[in-house]
Amino acid sequence: MSAADDLHDAAADEMIVGCLDLAKPRSFFLYAGAGSGKTRSLVEAIRKVCERQGRDLSLSGQKIGVITYTNAACDEIKQRLEFDPRVEVSTIHAFAWSLISGYDNDIRGWLAGRLLQDIAELEEAQAKGRAGSKAAVDRARSIESKQHRYESLGSIIRFVYSPTGDNRTRDSLSHAEVIAMTADFLAGKPGLRRLLVTRFPLLLIDESQDTSRQLMDVLLDVEAVHRERFCLGLFGDMMQSIYADGKERLAEAIPEAWARPHKRMNHRCPTRVVELINRVREDGDGEQQLPRSDAVAGTVRLFVAPQGANKPETEAAVARRMREVTGDVAWIEDSDATKILALEHMMSARRFGFDAFFGPLYAVERIRTSLLQGAGAGIGFYTREVLPLIEALRASDRFAIASIVRKTSPLLDRKSLEEAGEDQASVLAAAKAACDGLLELVSGDAVPTAREVLRYIAEKRLFTIPDVLMPFVAPDAPGEEGAAGDEEEEPNPKTELGGWRQALEASLDEIARYDRYIQGASSFDTHQGVKGLEFPRVMVIVSDEEARGFMFSYDKLFGARGKSETDLRNEAAGKETSIDRTRRLFYVTCSRAERGLAVVYYTDAVEAARAVVAKQGWFSDEEIEIIE
């Protein structure tokens, strides 16, 4: 290891430590590209502050706040800091809840206003829509569910929330509600702002580019008002922004008074990969990194293949070719030694057979992020209750069955058992019968749809149905379908109601495959799942035809297609384009490679694509190969 390389960004680290001064805090935005040791800088800066001013923190009862994006990152930072009690590390949802928990009257008022607004919007759409259509039926049921929740607010004494749970009971809040509520409370309640600044005079946010724009905007406002006694430290890289609800162009919103330390060294990637990712972001923000002096040269290849090729065979051939080129025998097809990354989720959904479930929900922007995280009450109902119970039933695991049902089923909650009195055996028998019926439903020749399973569970009261799924519990009555023909009003696919109606027609097996994908258990991984990770061998799969989305385009990124009118309008307005989004995902995936990188580019015009990619200059002529 080169000592000079390790110290190359020492000035940036010292600047961060200087900003974290309780007596004279200064906010900062750290640019830290891929493999630059961002988390290491964060941890070392906190250690130095605790060494110098830890006693002051302890005496005042104050803490250094650290917000991370995932529970895994949260645990890693806590361990590196040896669980220092002067540092509070949490995810954004846990942090938000720590600020507003206990303000039950304010929460009740906020929820009442939000529910009345939602009901009014649904009633307005209902008045304009076609009576008796599927969309009208969904809206009517949603209005009923929201009205019921609104009327029950007065009976809730204390609201509850779990950052890692599905929050489905009547007294619980959803993940989205907690974030929106915290942002609104911080914006409108000066007392809460003062509490935040007093409790956390130093607040550091990791992966700040993906932090909810609602919260980021209000935290920037808090910093502007309390700048003399509050440091807001943002760690991140805009080129690694991958969630749609993060703040666009965050770097441009940073005030002039802030410090802007930069970390230039890439400690992960070989020289050739650093050259490539520098070229990728050259037309983006122009930021450039340096490879370590002791970095290996590394190998990069772009394989261009026809769109109609047999994908598994093509990718196996690419692995064999990389073994020949690199001499690395670990490049073996179907091997865990090679990390295969799909850049667009719909491509993975189609490859692994869960697109009928995933596609409709992915099209709804307001729930897209929670879908990609496997979060939300509707998703959790299936992945954390229904599927585990079915797995236990199929394995005849009586202990697991009893554990799952006792934990969340209303059949065996305290109220049901108390009402049964001495006849609790009948309650247990009903629960067993409900479980047996579920096993029978999923064991037939035809795989049931997600909606059929939902209706059965609702009928038997096996689990509590989350509000988002309540409109689909009852079967559509014969007269509810509306008249056939062009006048039929279909559910709006861009709304949560419309997305769920379509998604629930998918088979239950699709949800199981979706869950394995999101958990990283499939052969492909997500760009969200690998951010911050590194692998010796990386194969990146690029295919616009498989992705079939409007959000990304690799043909445009590589120059095989021109910009669309929408891209040109967004570019002129200073907004994000499909090329911007595609560039970021390509950067994130390519920058995972420690030694070898293979990019497989499927296209309809192989020779033409090869020519435009060569002209673009990201890959040399020798690095571009055609795979027939």
Binding residues for ATP: 32-39
Residues in the chain: 628
Per the annotation, binding residues are 32-39
Which DSSP string do the residues of 329-374 spell out, in sequence order?
TT--TT-TTEEEEESSHHHHHHHTT-HHHHHHHHT-HHHHHHHHTT
SS3 assignment, position 382: helix
Contact present, 311 and 334 (Cβ < 8 Å): no
Q: In angstroms, what CA-CA distances link 325 with 12, 300, 521, 537, 621?
A: 38, 10, 29, 13, 15
> How buried is 286 (Cβ within 10 angstroms: 0-12 exposed, 13-18 middle, 19+ buried)?
exposed
**CA atoms of 231 and 64, how far apart (whole Å):** 10
Closest CA relative to residue 453, chosen from 504, 521, 391: 504
Quote the tokens at residue 454: 């939902």
Closest CA to 261 of 284, 280, 234: 234
Q: Which of 540, 524, 530 is nearest to 318 (CA)?
A: 540
CB atoms within 10 A of CB 42: 24
* Residue carrying the six token digits 């709304």: 495
Q: Is 550 helix (H, G, I), strand (E, B) or coil?
A: coil
Contact indicator for 401, 428 with CB cutoff of 8 Å: no
- Tell me if 103 sits within 8 A of 178, measured CB to CB: no
Distances (CA, A) of 413 to 152, 164, 165, 169, 466: 20, 22, 18, 12, 17
Find, among 603, 600, 524, the residue nearest to 317 by Cα. 600
Pick from 553, 605, 560, 548: which is nearest to 580 by CA? 553
For residue 219, give the nearest of 252, 192, 257, 249 by alpha carbon. Answer: 192
Q: Which residues of 113-133 are buried (b: 16+ CB within 10 A; e: fewer)?
A: ebbeebbeebeebbeebeebb
Distance CA 402, CA 593 (A): 45
Q: Is the dihedral of CA 324, 330, 335, 339 positive or negative?
A: negative
Of 197, 496, 210, the residue nearest 360 (C-alpha)? 496
* DSSP tag of 385: I
Residue found under tokens 């009442």: 112
Q: Is 493 exposed, middle or buried (0-12, 13-18, 19+ CB in 10 A)?
A: middle
Which amino acid, one-letter code, is at 402? Answer: A
3-class DSSP assignment, residue 255? coil
- Residue 403 CB neighbour total at 10 angstroms: 13
Whether the CA torsion 315, 317, 323, 329 is positive or negative: it is: positive
| DSSP string of 135-188, one letter each residue | HHHHHHHHHHHHHHHHHHGGG-SS-B--TTS---STTB--HHHHHHHHHHHHHH
